[in-house]
Amino acid sequence: MSDNKPRNFIEEIIEEDLRTGRFQEVHTRFPPEPNGYLHIGHAKAICLNFGIAKKYHGKCNLRFDDTNPEAEDVEYVEAIKRDIRWLGFDWEDREYFASDYFEQLYEFAVRLIKKGKAYVDDSTPEEIAAMRGTPTQPGVESPYRNRSVEENLDLFERMRQGEFEEGSRVLRAKIDMASPNMHLRDPIMYRIKKVAHHRTGTKWCIYPMYDFAHGQSDAIEHITHSLCSLEFRHHRPLYEWFIRELELFPSRQIEFARLNLSYTIMSKRRLKRLVEEGYVAGWDDPRMPTLSGMRRRGYPPTAIREFAERVGIAKRDNVIDLSLLEFCVREELNKTTPRIMAVLRPLKVVITNYPEGQVEQMEIVNNPEDPAMGGRTIPFSRELYIEQTDFMEEAPKKFFRLKPSGMVRLKAAYIIRCDEVVKDEAGQIVELRCTYFPESRSGQDYSGLKVKGTIHWVSASHALPAQARLYDRLFLDPAPDQHEGHDFIEFINPQSLEVLDPIWVEPSVQGAQPGQAYQFLRMGYFCVDPDSTTDKLVFNRTATLKDSWAKISQK
């Protein structure tokens, strides 16, 4: 290859395979099980498989591992396809399902029975588990292991026809009950499941196990490099045994470390529990590590791809700090989002010497990082909203925002001075009465006044009411599912969502569509949520402007 980037170990293997002629091309696949939504861990595998194919001018298939009808659903199939496209990858016309190969896989099983390499076992699941032995003790052969080929063929066909109850029989490979590799101790190839399949309906009542379907599906599609996470390295000898016995195309399996992220869980089963028990509002809740959740939160796909690139490909499992992902998100949004002014916790300001009814249009740039994004005008009037935190009645010496008798610049507008603080009966500050200096307008300032602080604002009569959902990390612990004797639910962050309603945003966002991202000046990155209506926008906080989590978590 011509690029100068260092090769990872997978690329080195592939280039050696191409150089030696082991393979003439590169053909990979991404094989998700449609039993849940994809998460950030899958994003790494997607970027790797599609990225490798692109780098070596090869192909990457999308193949759904739909061998377990109890857990699978067409909803998940469609969500997976949507997420992969959103990430920026295209499988073209190569969309496959393991269920496409059910007849072929059945014939493969019959072939192994005829070779004396597979048998029907009537033992119960508990008996089979006990017969497997332990890592230090060999297993015990099933009493049904030496059935004749004819009897096994008959029983397997009758399994297919639905004569037997679930759990009453399985088909097992006949390998080696004394093997030090537990996966080679006569593994189960087929089990009876009288459950309708989302694609094949009730045509089948026996389904292949993943370990039998996976390698053969790769072989059928002539996958050259089967890239798997590390937990499958002990399964590889079994996959290779099936391929040898069936004399199929020998894909090369290479294992890499899966993505583990701090403050995050990656188990689909546990993510499903969060959804079903109502700890989150669905698979696309912006606090979820799912790609649909990250999309709804406003994470750009470019940032996720950059994150996957920075994490790299390793041979050993490790845990990546969530802050790296958040950094990639901020870095991308800083370059690409327009700035707007929004006040999340409003405090009213009345400029007493500004003419009633007068409105001026103030010019402001959309993104100082990108001059090509141009500028806009925002209305300025006598009554404004500022952030409550931008005023302190008893301010410390180095507080450079607004305080009694203090002055501050309003972004892209005028310098104002606070003359009076108005409070309600409870003693809460409800209004500031201020003076503005007409000669201090931004870009035309000849007032001679010097101020150290600049704050944002919106015109009270022009601003749009909206809702802000401030999302934070879902868990307080960096490894919520790694504490023996504790349920990961115990570590949920009770402050992972704060809803502010109403907030006030400048009128330029009128009509913004779901997914549109902005930087709220001084407040963070936000995007428009699909819950928005024509009457009221809903904004999700994608990220704060800086990583403040370290400070918070150390308190």
Residue owning tokens 């996966």: 183
- Domain identity same for 352 and 497: no
- Domain identity same for 329 and 353: no
217, 98 Cβ separation under 8 angstroms: yes
Task: From the candidates 59, 169, 185, 258, give the one annotated as an active-site residue.
Answer: 258
For residue range 251-277, list pLDDT tens digits in order: 999 999 999 999 999 999 999 999 999
Residue 2 CB contacts under 8 Å (≥ 6 apart), including other chains: none
Give me the mean pLDDT over the 363-389 stretch.
Answer: 96
Q: Supply angle C-alpha 44, 49, 52, rounded to 5.
A: 115
Per-residue pLDDT at 4 exceeds 80: no
Whichever domain contains 42, its CATH number is 3.40.50.620
Task: From the candidates 268, 296, 330, 441, give the one annotated as an active-site residue.
Answer: 268
Active site residue 132: no
- Domain identity same for 424 and 305: no
- Domain identity same for 147 and 192: yes
Whether this prediction's pTM lies above 0.75 is answered by yes
Overall domain count for the chain: 3
- Domain identity same for 123 and 213: yes
Structural domain boundaries, residue 364: 342-456
What pLDDT is recorded for position 551? 47
- Domain identity same for 417 and 515: no
What is the side-by-side order of every strand in the sheet holding 524-528?
Answer: 339-340, 517-520, 524-528, 537-543, 464-471, 497-505, 342-343
The pair phi, psi for residue 281, each rounded to 5°, is -90, 15
Per-residue pLDDT at 29 exceeds 60: yes
For residue range 517-554, list pLDDT tens digits in order: 999 999 999 999 999 999 999 999 999 998 765 544 44
- Domain identity same for 373 and 442: yes
Instruction: Write down which residue in 224, 256, 288 finishes a domain.
Output: 256
- Domain identity same for 188 and 307: no
Mean pLDDT estimate for the chain:
95
What pLDDT is recorded for position 554? 43
CA–CA gap between residue 532 and residue 329 (Å, rounded) = 23
Whichever domain contains 479, its CATH number is 2.40.240.10
Active site residue 258: yes
- Single-letter residue type at 544: T
- Domain identity same for 230 and 82: yes
- How far, in whole angstroms, is CA 66 from its chain's centroid? 21
Per-residue pLDDT at 62 exceeds 60: yes
- Domain identity same for 285 and 398: no
- Domain identity same for 348 and 436: yes
- Domain identity same for 130 and 152: yes
Task: From the candidates 11, 15, 33, 383, give the one annotated as an active-site residue.
Answer: 33
Active site residue 7: no
CA–CA gap between residue 543 and residue 526 (Å, rounded) = 7
What is the side-by-side order of every strand in the sheet holding 383-387?
Answer: 454-455, 407-410, 415-423, 429-436, 346-351, 383-387, 458-459
Instruction: Write down which residue in 437, 456, 475 finishes a domain.
Output: 456
